[in-house]
């Protein structure tokens, strides 16, 4: 919560901290915590919507630790944790305007908007091939971070997302989850 509060001014929607707290408290989720000298330096969530679709959420770095590539490494780590598929894997990020330039460096493109309190924010989409997933793991190994095995990745309990190809390229289609969490 402290990292969120430090990042909130001028970046996150007013009052959104309660949504972040609900995210932390309810349902199973994958949330990675980064520590530096026994201090929490960053956190980042990951929800697996389908074998080939994951959502990166709440990637936060304590301002005292920004500029040390912790956020970049955490983003790459969350991507690398998704099981490699024979086809492409898609990643979504429900961003705020100030964070989209960071995610664009990884190849995310704005592919929609999400709304909160009558204000729109960008949704980023990243398409990663099998070969690119291997490159991500190699970059992490160069940073002395190795991904062995698989974490238990958890789905969102609210929505199901699907990436479809249409006349305007890849689009994201969401629908409410009606049958409980995915297996």
User: 27-57, pLDDT tens digit by residue?
Assistant: 677 888 888 888 899 999 888 888 888 999 8
CA distances from 65 to 37, 50, 79, 83, 170 (A): 11, 33, 21, 29, 35
**Domain at 2-176: CATH architecture:** 3-Layer(aba) Sandwich (3.40)
pLDDT value of residue 137: 86
User: 85-132, pLDDT tens digit by residue?
Assistant: 888 999 999 888 889 999 999 999 998 888 777 788 899 999 999 899
Tell me the mean pLDDT in the region 142-168: 61
Rg of the chain over Cα atoms, rounded to whole angstroms, equals 16
Band (pLDDT 50/70/90 cuts) for residue 183 is very low
Q: Is 93 exposed, middle or buried (0-12, 13-18, 19+ CB in 10 A)?
A: buried
Band (pLDDT 50/70/90 cuts) for residue 180 is very low
Please tell me the pTM assigned to this model: 0.78
Closest CA to 106 of 83, 85, 135: 135
Q: How far apart are CA 131 and CA 64, in angstroms?
A: 35
Domain assignments of the chain as residue spans, ordered by start = 2-176
Instruction: State the alpha helices, DSSP H only, in the chain.
Output: 2-7, 17-25, 70-81, 100-104, 130-142
- pLDDT at residue 170 is higher than 60: no
Tell me the mean pLDDT in the region 121-144: 89
């Amino acid at each position: 919560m402290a990292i969120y509060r430090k990042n909130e001014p001028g970046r996150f929607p007013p009052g959104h901290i309660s949504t972040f707290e609900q995210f932390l408290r309810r349902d199973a989720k994958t949330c990675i915590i980064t520590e530096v000298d026994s201090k929490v330096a960053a956190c980042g969530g990951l929800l697996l919507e389908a074998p080939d679709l994951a959502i990166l959420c709440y990637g936060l770095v304590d301002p005292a630790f920004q500029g040390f590539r912790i956020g970049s490494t955490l983003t790459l780590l969350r991507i690398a944790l998704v099981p490699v598929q024979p086809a492409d894997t898609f990643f979504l990020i429900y961003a705020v305007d100030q964070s989209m330039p960071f995610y664009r460096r990884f190849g995310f493109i704005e592919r929609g908007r999400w709304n909160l309190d009558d204000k729109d924010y960008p949704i980023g989409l990243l398409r990663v091939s099998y070969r690119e997933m291997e490159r991500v793991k190699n970059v992490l190994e160069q940073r002395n971070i190795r991904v062995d095995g698989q974490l238990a990745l958890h789905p969102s309990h609210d929505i199901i997302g699907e990436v479809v190809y249409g006349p305007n390229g890849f689009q994201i289609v969401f629908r409410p989850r009606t049958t409980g969490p995915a297996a």
